[in-house]
Amino acid sequence: MTAPYIAPSWWPDDEVARACRRGGVGVFGLFEAAYREWYGREPDARVLERALVDYLWGRGCPPWVRRHAREVLARRPGPADAAVRPARLRGLARAAVGVIYVSLFCLVVA
């Protein structure tokens, strides 16, 4: 019998975290997209970092991120969401990547 997965106590389980899981992006990517949508320009790195740190430390979340997260959660999953998620390697491609990793490991060790 396996124990159920318990999320770490420091990880927030709110609409932002759920939107990240649904969209297949990280928190930073969600913050970037939210900033771009809200302000209509590329995000300022310092503002984005400050907002992200505040969110991760539990000090609150900016309204522009909450709004974007709600919009992501309101969307129905479709082909656009599949395009966001990275494609998994299957079959021979996966085996080829494994062979390359083992070869590089052998070169480094040797």
- Average pLDDT for consecutive 10-residue bins of the chain (110 residues)? 45 75 82 91 89 85 90 74 50 72 80
Residue 43 domain flag: yes
Residues 57-73 pLDDT 10s:
888 889 999 999 899 88
The domain of 27 spans: 15-86
Which pLDDT belongs to residue 110?
A: 67
* Prediction pTM value: 0.59
Q: From residue 21, give the alpha-carbon distance in Å to each of 24, 46, 102.
A: 5, 25, 31
Residue 99 CA to residue 94 CA, distance in Å, equals 9
Whether the CB-CB separation of 59 and 80 falls below 8 Å is answered with no
Which pLDDT belongs to residue 35?
A: 92
Count of domains in the chain? 1
Structure-block tokens of residue 95: 């085996």
Which pLDDT belongs to residue 4?
A: 43
Residue 46 domain flag: yes
Residue 29 domain flag: yes
Residue 28 domain flag: yes
- Number of neighbouring beta carbons within 10 Å of residue 19: 24
Structure-block tokens of residue 78: 């479709």
